[in-house]
């Protein structure tokens, strides 16, 4: 009887320890959540680094490449050289639909 009670007590403490080890703030579930969050943040950092590299290249092109700058001015801001004419083509919609 005493041996059975001793075994139950040991089993209870082992079970309590396992529950605390898995579910408390320093447990396995929290460790998994923190690891997942760390990986997500690393991916975000990698995306931001790639974006920064792209922006640095863009700044370099705008600072050193006159043709690139002229192309941006023409396409994005619709600027023209003196004496150039711009023709705007307007598509007409068919009144009769097929």
Strand ranges for the chain from DSSP E: none
Q: Are 80 and 74 in contact (CB under 8 A)?
A: yes
Specify the length of the chain in residues: 98
Confidence tier at 92 by pLDDT (50, 70, 90): confident
From CA 72, how far away is CA 32, in angstroms rounded?
Answer: 48
pLDDT of 49-91, one tens digit each?
999 999 999 999 999 999 999 888 888 888 888 888 888 888 8
From CA 46, how far away is CA 33, in angstroms rounded?
Answer: 20
CA distances from 53 to 40, 48, 49, 63 (A): 20, 9, 6, 15
pLDDT at 1 exceeding the cut of 70: no
């Amino acid at each position: 009887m005493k041996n059975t009670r001793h075994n139950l007590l040991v089993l209870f403490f082992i079970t309590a320890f396992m529950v605390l080890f898995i579910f408390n703030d320093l447990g396995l579930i929290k460790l998994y959540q923190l690891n997942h969050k760390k990986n997500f943040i690393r991916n975000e950092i990698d995306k931001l680094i790639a974006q920064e590299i792209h922006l640095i290249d863009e700044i370099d092109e705008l600072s050193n490449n006159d043709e690139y700058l002229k192309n941006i001015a023409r396409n994005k801001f619709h600027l023209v050289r003196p004496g150039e004419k711009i023709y705007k083509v307007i598509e007409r919609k068919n009144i009769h639909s097929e």
